[in-house]
Amino acid sequence: MLFLCYWELNENMPVVDHLKIGKMLTESGLFPPEGVELIRFDMTPDYWGITIFKAASAEAVFKIVEVWRMAGTGIFKKINVSPALTVMDAKALAANLYQSFKEVEAKMK
């Protein structure tokens, strides 16, 4: 299953701490955690970014966030994780749902 994670780093935490945390997690193999396939991991100069990943379980989704929180308390100012679809898949899903809705609506007339 595909997930999109939007995050904002705590700008009050020294940059060197962000770097140490990232180095420790990647070099130790804790990030990305087991059960997570990392697709993209991008950051902006304003200290926010996105992580796009695949995970087969809720536990794996928790792990990808919690390893950062445990390694650096207060590292995130904000974080949101949600299941995601590609735009093409979302359009196809919406079209199928719309068609189903129209069929039900026609039967109810």
Provide the residue range defining the domain that includes 41: 2-107
Cα angle, residue 70 at apex, residues 69 and 75 outer, rounded to 5°: 35
* CATH code, domain carrying 93: 3.30.70.1710
19: helix, coil or strand? helix
Q: What is the pLDDT of residues 42-85, one digit of tens each?
A: 999 999 999 999 999 999 999 999 999 999 999 999 999 999 99
How many helices and strands in the chain, by DSSP H and E? 3, 4
How many domains does the chain divide into? 1
Q: What is the pLDDT of residues 3-43, one digit of tens each?
A: 999 999 999 999 999 999 999 999 999 999 999 999 999 99
